[in-house]
Amino acid sequence: MRILSIETSCDETGVSIIEGSGTKEGHIMLLGNALASQVDLHAQYGGVFPAMAKRAHAEKFVPLLVEALGQAGMLIKKHREVLLPEEKEVIVALCVREPELGAHFMEFFAAYEKPALDTIAVTTGPGLEPALWVGVNAAKVLSALWNVPLMPINHMEGHVLVTLLEKVLANPQKEFALGRIQFPALALLVSGGHTELVHVHDYSTYEKIGSTRDDAVGEAFDKVARMLGLPYPGGPTVSKLAAAFRATGTPNPFTLPRPMLHSGDYDFSYSGIKTAVLYTIRDLTNNFERIPTDEEKMAIACAFEDAAIEVLVTKTMRAVKEFTMHTLIVGGGVAGNTYLRAQLTEAVQTQAPHTTLLFPETWLATDNSVMIAIAAYVRSVYGNGETTTIDTITANGNLSITHGGFRKEV
């Protein structure tokens, strides 16, 4: 089956096309994959602005659609450019709030034939609602004019299920086998908006057992980066500095608290570490009279990463052992963090050697639309692949993974 997927929940616009074959031992070809990042746009403000994100998604969507279809060999020019009045009517009606998207769609539908697709999968939440709506409205237009069913996908479920991709070495970024999850499984979801431990009972039943009470861990990385004068998004840069400091072998003059390490539950808190970083910088620089030296930045980044990751690893391992999890899945942007990968790998080897540890490919850890296609495919293979209609699909910024893409959205 062929799935076209759309992701616009935050600051990445993505369109992918996959072809899945076989049944449960699925074989997946990534036929097309186009991704545009808004990082440069938001970097100057140090964070994502929903209204700007929405406009950028609306401008980028159709060019990315054309790129992805082109890569897949599915971009077929019409003999004669023509847009039927009823097509124009649908586009206008569905793009009332995104006129630039509507204008692009008119040119697109006038120029290109309908491609052969079975499903259109789109992220319906969680995320920034104005941004999500661009993807949902784009999906509605495609579904209505191509007469292809729509599948709503939970972004966090995408982060979980993309870890099932096993690359085929001869064709590493295009061809994959679809692995299986041995249940029960635990998912540690770590991104700019989420820090959650989720008990995965089966492919569609998720139970949240803990989450952050304030900031998400990725958000803390971003805020610490900002305090150190490093660019947005801060995760990769903070991590690089931390690794450089660790490599020197020098004892770290700074230590930071590990909030809720022994709280007895599975919740997290990251705002305290962030504030401790601020006080550390304040005391070091005589009340911000100077900026920290490069060496000091490296040491602070390392102290922060040590504290942030130790809490994640300790609480995750406690849940793995308590519930005798057969699989541990790590998903979300922070799953790309090298130190987290190393620490968790070691912890699983020593404390739960029979648990399988799944990470996403590094290039699929941060937001992308491949994960949305994979979630849709897994839903089709292991579930009944329920689809929805353009009248009922809706974006929901607070959509919880416990509601999946199919349950009633709250």
- Binding ligand KG4 by CB under 6 A: which of 3, 4, 6, 10? 10
Nearest residue (CB) to ligand KG4, 19 versus 222? 222
236 near ligand KG4, judged by CB under 6 A: yes
User: CA 28 to CA 55: how far, in whole Å?
Assistant: 32
The angle that helices 85-94 and 129-146 make with each other, rounded to 10 degrees, is 160
d(Cα 315, Cα 318) in Å, to the nearest integer? 5
The answer to whether 36 touches 13, Cβ cutoff 8 Å, is yes
Residue 11 binds to Zn ion (criterion: CB under 5 A): no
- CA dist., res. 181 & res. 356, Å (int): 9
Q: Given candidates 16, 33, 191, 380, which one binds ligand KG4 under the rule CB under 6 A?
A: 191
**According to the binding rule CB under 5 A, does residue 367 interact with Zn ion?**
yes
- DSSP calls for 312-370: HHHHHHHHHHHTT-SEEEEESGGGG-HHHHHHHHHHHHHH-TTSEEE---GGGTSS-SH
Residue 221 interacts, among ligand KG4, Zn ion, none and using kind-specific CB cut-offs from 5 to 8 Å, with ligand KG4
> Which span sits near ligand KG4 by CB under 6 A: 54-62, 215-223, 341-349, 352-360?
215-223
Q: How many CA atoms lie within 13 A of 7 on its CB side?
A: 32
Taking CB under 5 A as the rule, does residue 337 contact Zn ion? no
38: contact with Zn ion by CB under 5 A: no
383 residue type, one letter: G
| Alpha-carbon dihedral angle through residues 100, 105, 110, 113, given to the nearest 10 degrees | 160
Tell me which residue has tokens 């490093």. 230
Cβ-Cβ contacts under 8 Å for 208 (sequence gap 6 or more): 196, 197, 198, 199, 400, 401, 402
Quote the tokens at residue 170: 């001869």
Q: Which of 13, 33, 154, 239 binds ligand KG4 (CB under 6 A)?
A: 239
Q: Which of 95/344 has CB closer to ligand KG4?
A: 344
* Closest separation in Å from C-beta 128 to ligand KG4: 10
Only one of the segments 203-211, 252-260, 291-299, 366-374 lies at the binding site for Zn ion (rule: CB under 5 A); that segment is 366-374
- Residue 91 contacts ligand KG4 per CB under 6 A: no
Token pair listed for 227: 């305090």
Is 191 among the residues that bind Zn ion (CB under 5 A)?
yes
Nearest CB to Zn ion, comparing residues 65 and 156 = 156
| Residue number with CB closer to ligand KG4 (8 or 137) | 8
Instruction: Name which position in 14, 193, 292, 360 contacts ligand KG4 (CB under 6 A).
Output: 193
Per CB under 5 A, which region of 34-42, 84-92, 184-192, 236-244 contacts Zn ion?
A: 184-192
Q: Are 48 and 11 in contact (CB under 8 A)?
A: yes
Chain centroid to Cα 111, Å, comes to: 32
Minimum CB distance to ligand KG4 smaller for 32 or for 333:
333
Q: Where along the sequence are the contacts to ligand KG4 (CB under 6 A)?
A: 10, 191-193, 218-219, 221-222, 233-236, 239, 332-334, 336-337, 366-367
Q: Where along the sequence are the contacts to Zn ion (CB under 5 A)?
A: 191, 367
